[in-house]
């Protein structure tokens, strides 16, 4: 009996040992077996375009929550030294000045309105923004009731959005109630009779509006401004009018709640990757065609842009020498040049960069070198799903508003050309005391880029030192707004001034200590 038990126990031990060995062998085998993709994985793979797609670099290839997991924040050890890395993100000092838009003790509530100011805005989002703020100030000066402006729907952007689609209409009206009376629509009794359509003179001061424009109330009850851009001077306006412009632009003119919510989400997704740069890359077809800049483009691309310029009736300049324009610093930096520039400033390859732009001309073919230097090139199309962006995609101004929000909130903002958006973002960041705003010295940079191209200079410490030195005072420093360039006259004199909305100091800032801006 005892012998039989010992035989059974030995058999059981041999069986268990054989079973465990089999399991181990099967496990090792499975580690080397190719697993077929699941239906979910196959759908994800199907989103990757296999045909030539010029804007492929902007497309969302993975869901946002997966994308974020793949992006690691830049590490301090990846840079030359911790202190050097920290300096790249350090905002310029505000020198103790804070936003100060409260009106003076002499400022009164709006007096009885003499009529209605109706406005047709013109241009893209940022041109319309500044124009609307000017019209608030103008309405105050001529004792008018401001009608919510009609947005430009016929220009290049062909956006059908109304004011309330882009901006928080109720907030705009209520927050300016102590400055100007604002209504949503003209009363039916005033929709047609006694009205005049007038193009206000560009860069005009208070006397022009109080005398020439206000005199029209003697004959009309409705004055319609046919354009809104640059209708008010940058300088030499009463302090309370300048402060009103800041209240209108930086406090009252909020985006609509749904745009604000979407913009906030994009900012949060960028922040998950660490400090980021927002790059306003002005390398779209219309910009290049208008400016005549063709550096690094093919002969066919240059000819296409020339044809567009020739065929656009309201563009006055037709014959443009692209080399001369570039040598004078009048051309936007190319994506390749931006990559060289950021590298020379010291930003490491792992830096997340948000591209605030429309479709880049030539798409992937012109983004390759920038992408190779900075693989984490992101955009709203990459950060959000198709479904999340769907309400905005057919409205150019609403899409631009999303770029605006991410740019204003960025740790560093860089533009390749100082257009309307660059100026608007720069001014808003100054007012909110955000991080660095870097304005490339394009004229000086072109000379350095050409030396790299002809082999008389190589990338490295020498180039980096030159670029850093060139831009030590181009970081969005807090300083007094520049006046006109000496010797300029007429319209050129006003064009040479620094825009009020790009730099609202000293008008909209103050501090208790006795000090003056330099």
User: Given a cut of 70, is residue 450 above it in pLDDT?
Assistant: yes
pLDDT in tens, 214-262: 999 999 999 999 999 999 999 999 999 999 999 999 999 999 999 999 9
Where would I find the beta strands (DSSP E) of 212-262? 222-225
Question: 391 preceded by cis ω (within 30°)?
Answer: no
Beta strand residue intervals within 69-217, DSSP E: 98-99, 115-119, 144-147, 182-183, 195-198
391: phi then psi, degrees, rounded to nearest 5: -65, -15
Q: Are the CB atoms for 350 and 376 separated by under 8 Å?
A: yes
What's the average model confidence in pLDDT over 193-204? 91
For residues 453 and 518, which has the higher predicted lDDT (pLDDT)?
453
> Worst-scoring range by mean pLDDT, 80-94, 241-255, 490-504?
80-94
pLDDT digits (tens, 9 = 90+) for 9-41: 455 455 545 555 454 444 433 333 333 343 333
Could you read off the pLDDT of 41-81 as tens digits, one per residue? 333 333 333 334 555 545 444 444 444 434 444 444 444 45
Mean predicted lDDT score pLDDT of the chain: 85
- pLDDT tens digits for range 398-421: 999 999 999 999 999 999 999 999
Q: What is the pLDDT of residues 139-192, one digit of tens each?
A: 999 999 999 999 988 776 778 999 999 999 999 999 999 999 999 999 887 666
Q: Please state, in angstroms and rounded to a whole number, the distance separating the CA atoms of residues 49 and 128.
A: 36
Query: Rounded to 5 degrees, what angle do the CA atoms 97, 168, 121 make?
Result: 90
Q: What is the pLDDT of residue 373?
A: 97
Q: What is the pLDDT of residue 82?
A: 64
The pLDDT of residue 447 is above 50:
yes
Q: What pTM, to 2 d.p., does this model score?
A: 0.84
pLDDT at 56: 53
> Would you say residue 93 has pLDDT above 90?
no
Q: Is the pLDDT higher at 507 or at 365?
A: 507
CB 384 within 8 Å of CB 265: yes
Residue 442: its pLDDT value, please? Answer: 97
On the 0-12 / 13-18 / 19+ scale of CB atoms within 10 A, 355 is buried
Q: Which residues contact 448 (CB under 8 A, 6 or more apart)?
A: 457, 463, 466, 467
| Domain architecture of the chain: domains with CATH | 84-93+256-510 (no CATH), 115-252 (3.40.50)
**Are 221 and 189 within 8 A, CB to CB?**
no
């Amino acid at each position: 009996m005892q012998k039989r038990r010992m035989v059974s126990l030995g058999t059981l031990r041999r069986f268990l040992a054989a079973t465990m060995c089999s399991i181990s062998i099967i496990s090792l085998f499975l580690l080397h077996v190719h697993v077929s993709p699941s239906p979910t994985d196959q759908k994800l793979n199907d989103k990757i375009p296999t045909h030539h797609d010029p804007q492929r670099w902007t497309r969302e290839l993975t869901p946002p929550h997966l994308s974020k997991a793949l992006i690691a924040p830049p590490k301090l050890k990846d840079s030359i030294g911790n202190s050097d890395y920290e300096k790249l993100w350090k905002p310029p000092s505000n020198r103790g000045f804070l936003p100060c838009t409260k009106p003076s003790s002499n400022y009164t509530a709006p007096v009885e309105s003499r009529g209605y100011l109706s406005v047709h805005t013109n241009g893209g989002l940022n041109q319309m923004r500044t124009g609307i703020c000017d019209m608030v100030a103008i309405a105050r000066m001529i004792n008018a009731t401001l009608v919510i402006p009609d947005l430009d729907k016929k220009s290049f952007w062909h956006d059908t959005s109304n004011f309330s689609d882009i901006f928080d209409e109720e907030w705009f009206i209520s927050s300016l109630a102590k400055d100007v009376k604002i209504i949503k629509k003209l009363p039916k009794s005033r929709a047609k009779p006694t009205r005049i359509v007038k193009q206000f003179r560009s860069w005009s001061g208070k006397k022009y509006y109080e005398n020439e424009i206000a005199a029209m109330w003697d004959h009309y009850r409705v004055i319609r401004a046919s354009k809104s851009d640059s209708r008010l001077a940058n300088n030499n306006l009463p302090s309370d009018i300048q402060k009103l412009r800041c209240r209108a632009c930086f406090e009252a003119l909020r985006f609509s709640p749904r745009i604000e919510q979407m913009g906030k989400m994009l900012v949060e997704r960028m922040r998950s990757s660490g400090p980021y740069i927002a790059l306003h890359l002005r390398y779209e077809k219309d910009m290049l065609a208008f400016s005549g800049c063709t550096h690094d483009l093919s002969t066919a691309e240059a000819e296409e842009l020339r044809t567009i310029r020739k065929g656009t009736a309201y563009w006055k300049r037709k014959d443009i020498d692209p080399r001369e324009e570039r040598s004078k610093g009048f051309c936007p930096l190319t994506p390749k040049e931006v990559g060289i520039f950021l590298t020379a400033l010291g930003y490491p390859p792992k830096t997340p960069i948000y591209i605030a732009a429309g479709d880049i001309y030539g798409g992937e073919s012109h983004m390759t070198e920038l992408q190779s230097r900075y693989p984490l090139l992101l955009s709203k199309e990459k950060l959000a799903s198709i479904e999340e962006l769907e309400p905005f995609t057919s409205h150019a101004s609403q899409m631009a508003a999303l770029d605006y929000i991410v740019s204003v909130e960025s740790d560093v903002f860089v533009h390749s050309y100082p257009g309307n958006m660059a100026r608007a973002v720069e001014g808003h960041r100054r007012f909110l005391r955000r991080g660095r705003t870097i304005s490339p010295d394009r004229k000086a940079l072109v000379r350095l880029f050409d030396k790299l191209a002809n082999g008389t200079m190589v990338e490295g410490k020498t180039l980096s030192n030159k670029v850093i030195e060139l831009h030590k005072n181009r970081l969005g420093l807090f300083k007094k707004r520049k006046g006109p360039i000496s010797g300029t006259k007429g319209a050129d004199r006003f064009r040479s001034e620094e825009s009020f909305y790009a730099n609202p100091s000293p008008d909209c800032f103050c501090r208790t200590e006795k000090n003056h801006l330099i």
